[in-house]
Structure 1
């Protein structure tokens, strides 16, 4: 093969790789538009009760008087950011997400576990919405690092139950999926930007939400 053909081949391969990387980067930050909402059917529950899926693990619950949220993860850094550099909340995306969903005030944010894709934004979202955060000791350290006051953090135990308006939140310790990344616990307040691996999984909780 001639030298010029080899060079053209190398240029082609580089161009394909660059295009693939650019495409992956563009597609790795999901939309912040609300995906869907659900209202009670058949006369059950409050007619004003709405549950909205906001992407990733984030759900909002609103009955017209009280609103609560799971996780509150909106920054969604690209996989390249997560792998190659320290990460931190993206305040612009958080503000856009809350505005798009029409959310200005939350009574509580309950967090499943303390991986970045659950807890990264929880402290800042709580600060912006006057919410109390419910979660593990690892979650508490993550949101303390975001500046959330200790009196607005509740460390949960298996079977704990909390009441916010007509919403009752009951916590159950449940297994994470097998072999989670970043095992261990967050034992000190995290002050982003920090590497993704600093967001240790801690314990994992599921929540039973009942209303009225």
Structure 2
């Protein structure tokens, strides 16, 4: 049976489970930093066509631009369905996606995509300047300003396929995570956070997400994004993946850690070790 994954940059992952290709939070368009606040941005159709030639379903964790703005272009080309919050679905439809190709979901929902069972888990999201919350503007004319992608709800996803459990953990809180063989989670948090999350999931393989600088060109080698300000010098650094690995290893010594190369396909061997 074919089990593969690819990291698509940012929080984007592609999972090929049997005959089904499922994508979470695809975002290959690389805007300039200033466009977070000014200027309209259209999806990079050439990059999407090159790196995501096909898929059977798209899951969106929340409606910020770096998680959902590329989803309608992929769905229009492939004919696939996008699953997400009310804001996500309205954004998809405003971008031209037929309503039949959207599925509005909420925390606690469960549904199937072919042989994959999907559980929708409520997730917490931090306040970040430039990334807005609340209702969408009444009039949405594409391409949008990036700040027009407003979040109403945030989700994590548990994918179950032939006894294998894959958890896309999008929450800033570690509590309430289910058991999972493979876990993707944030790359910056405290040791206590990883202790709690790994104790609950008992995962055998962990991958970081949302750690790279999405303002640099897609053709460049991925570089860590800036971390949160801190006391000491320098006050602002970049995300340290070695520190992430050390904390995961401290929390779960027997757990494997994979920092994947962008767009490289990795074979998963249940219970979720990689080739």
* TM-score (normalised: structure 1): 0.70
Mark the structure with the bigger radius of gyration: 1
- Flag the 1:94–1:189 CA change in 2: closer, same or farther, 3 A: farther
State the superposition RMSD in angstroms. 1.7
Matched, 1:145 2:67: no
Q: Does 1:207 align with 2:157?
A: yes
- 1:176 equivalent in structure 2: 125
- Report matched runs for 1:1-212 at 5 Å: 47-98=1-52, 103-104=53-54, 106-178=55-127, 181-186=131-136, 188=138, 190-212=140-162
SS of corresponding position for 2:87 = helix
Structure richer in strand, relative to its length: 2
Q: CA deviation at 1:149?
A: 0.7
Q: What is the alpha-carbon distance in structure 2 between the residues aligned to residue 171 and residue 190 of structure 1?
A: 27
Please state how far the C-alpha of 1:71 moved relative to its aligned partner.
1.5
Structure whose residues are more often helix by fraction: 1
Specify the SS of the correspondent of 2:147. helix
Shift of 1:188: 4.5
> 2: CA distance between counterparts of 1:51 and 1:65?
13
Cα distance change, pair 149–132 in 1 and its aligned pair in 2 (3 A): same
Cα deviation for residue 113 of structure 1 reads 0.5
- Please report how far the alpha carbon of residue 68 of structure 1 lies from its aligned counterpart in structure 2 after TM superposition: 0.8
Question: Which digits, 9 at most, give the CA deviation of each residue in 1:62-89, with x for residues without a partner?
Answer: 1241111102211121213333311121
| Structure 1: tracts of 5 or more residues without a match | 1-46
TM-score (structure 2 length as normaliser):
0.55
Secondary structure of the residue aligned to 2:47 is: helix
Greater Cα offset, 158-167 or 148-157 = 158-167
